[in-house]
């Protein structure tokens, strides 16, 4: 059988999540595999990320390298969609009003 990577993805967009696994997006599995491979023992959780997020945003807006200044916050933001979404919103809010 000839497999077509693009058509696989189109099918997912068309039919949404599938219960058979056939509609599973291969990119999601790749992302999961990368997430596992890069797992580190010193990751911080969402609470610690939230504690430091205001500071992280200000460092970012000051044009400094926030990922170097606060690497664990950056690592958490790379992994956690909830926190990343809030970080982006906070960045947008603060940069617009300051």
Distance of closest approach, residue 40 Cβ to another protein, in angstroms: 9
Give me the least distance between CB of 13 and another protein, in Å please: 13
Give the Cα separation of 53 and 43 in Å (integer): 15
* Chain residues in the site for another protein (CB under 8 A): 3-5, 8, 17, 19-22, 24, 26, 28-39, 41, 43, 45-47, 50, 52-55, 57-58, 78, 80-82, 85-86, 89-90, 92-94, 96-97
CB neighbour class for 13 (10 Å; exposed up to 12, middle 13-18, buried from 19): exposed
Q: Which is nearer to another protein, 15 or 33 (CB)?
A: 33
DSSP code per residue over 31-71: HHHHHHHT--TT---HHHHHHHHHHHHHHHHTTS-HHHHSH
Please state the closest distance from residue 90 (CB atom) to another protein, in A: 5
């Amino acid at each position: 059988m000839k497999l077509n990577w693009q058509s696989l993805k189109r099918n997912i967009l068309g039919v949404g999540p599938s219960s058979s696994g056939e509609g599973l997006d291969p990119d999601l599995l790749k992302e999961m595999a990368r997430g596992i491979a890069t797992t580190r023992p010193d990751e911080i959780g969402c609470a610690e990320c939230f504690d430091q997020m205001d500071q992280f945003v200000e460092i970012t807006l000051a044009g400094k390298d926030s990922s170097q200044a606060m690497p664990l916050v950056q690592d958490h933001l790379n992994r956690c969609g909830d926190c990343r979404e809030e970080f982006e919103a906070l960045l947008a809010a603060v940069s617009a009003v300051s």
